[in-house]
Amino acid sequence: MATLAERRSLEPWQDPKAVPYLRIDRVTKKFGDVYAVDDVSLEIFQGEFFSLLGSSGCGKSTLLRMLAGLEYPSAGRIYIDGVDVTDVPAYSRPVNMMFQSYALFPHMSVEQNVEFGLKQDRMPRRERGERVGEMLDLLKITELRKRRPDQLSGGQRQRVALARSLAKHPKLLLLDEPLGALDKRLRENTQFELVNLQERLGITFVTVTHDQEEAMTMSTRIAVMDAGQIMQVDTPTAIYEFPTCRLVAEFIGSINLFEGKVVATEGNQVLVETRVGRPMRMRAFHPMVLGTPVTVAVRPEKMRLCADFRDDGVNQLKGRVEDIAYLGDVSIYRIRVGDGALVEMTLTNVQPRTEQALTWEQEVAIEWSPTSGVVLTE
Give me the residues that bind other proteins (CB under 8 A), please: 30, 68-70, 72-75, 86-93, 95-97, 99-101, 103, 105-107, 116-117, 120-121, 148, 150, 164-165, 168
* Alpha carbon distance, N-terminus to C-terminus of the chain: 37
What residues does 77 pair with on adjacent strands?
25
Integer Cα distance of 27 and 18 in angstroms: 22
Tell me how far, at minimum, the Cβ of 61 lies from other proteins, in Å: 11
Tell me how far, at minimum, the Cβ of 144 lies from other proteins, in Å: 17
Q: What is the DSSP letter of 354?
A: G
Tell me how far, at minimum, the Cβ of 168 lies from other proteins, in Å: 7
Question: 91 or 286: whose CB is closer to other proteins?
Answer: 91
Question: CB count, 10 Å around CB of 123?
Answer: 17
Tell me how far, at minimum, the Cβ of 99 lies from other proteins, in Å: 5
Tell me how far, at minimum, the Cβ of 261 lies from other proteins, in Å: 42
Nearest to 268 by CA among 291, 294, 286: 286
Tell me how far, at minimum, the Cβ of 48 lies from other proteins, in Å: 20
Tell me how far, at minimum, the Cβ of 219 lies from other proteins, in Å: 22
Question: 27 or 280: whose CB is closer to other proteins?
Answer: 27
Question: 12 or 94: whose CB is closer to other proteins?
Answer: 94
Tell me how far, at minimum, the Cβ of 95 lies from other proteins, in Å: 8
Integer Cα distance of 368 and 378 in angstroms: 22
Question: 136 or 347: whose CB is closer to other proteins?
Answer: 136
Tell me how far, at minimum, the Cβ of 322 lies from other proteins, in Å: 35
What residues does 376 pair with on adjacent strands?
295
Integer Cα distance of 92 and 70 in angstroms: 11
φ, ψ of residue 163 to 5 degrees: the values are -60, -40
Nearest to 298 by CA among 286, 321, 314: 314
Nearest to 193 by CA among 45, 49, 54: 49
Question: 90 or 197: whose CB is closer to other proteins?
Answer: 90
Cα three-residue angle 24-27-33, rounded to 5 degrees: 160
Q: Chain-centre distance of CA 76, in angstroms?
A: 24
What residues does 265 pair with on adjacent strands?
270
Integer Cα distance of 185 and 187 in angstroms: 5
DSSP string, 66-121: HHHTSS--SEEEEEETTEE-TT--GGGSSEEEE-TT----TTS-HHHHHHHHHHHT
Nearest to 142 by CA among 171, 120, 110: 110
Tell me how far, at minimum, the Cβ of 50 lies from other proteins, in Å: 18
Question: 108 or 245: whose CB is closer to other proteins?
Answer: 108
Count Cα atoms within 13 angstroms, Cβ side, for 292. Answer: 17
